[in-house]
Amino acid sequence: GENVEQHPSTLSVQEGDSAVIKCTYSDSASNYFPWYKQELGKRPQLIIDIRSNVGEKKDQRIAVTLNKTAKHFSLHITETQPEDSAVYFCAARINTGNQFYFGTGTSLTVIP
């Protein structure tokens, strides 16, 4: 099956700086890559996603890039704010099934 690795496990940045979280995947058949944000004690919520026919996608301060050749994708958050503090999960989905494979999460802390 698919194996998704996520780094770093913890990340601290100063407010206003950028944060980058990276994920790699193993199965070249994966074609959908969502990113979820989970605040303490709450459900994960989708913040951005990308499909394998696209190399980059932006939504205001958040962007995701995908390198299919290297099998890695990254989340970029610019101008970070304290409310960005949360755990972020990447995931990959193989085109032949409904199963999602999640990374182990990155705990982001934005220091005011």
- Contacts to other proteins by CB under 8 A: 6, 9, 31-32, 34, 36, 41-46, 49, 89, 93, 95, 98-100, 102-105
- Residue 11 or 15: the one with the smaller Cβ distance to other proteins is 11
Q: Name the minimum Å distance from CB 14 to other proteins.
A: 25
Q: Is 105 left (phi over 0), alpha (psi -120 to 50) or beta?
A: left
Taking the least distance from each CB to other proteins, the nearer of 14 and 42 is 42
What's the angle, vertex CA 60, arms to CA 56 and CA 66, rounded to 5? 15
CB of 30 to other proteins, least distance (A): 11
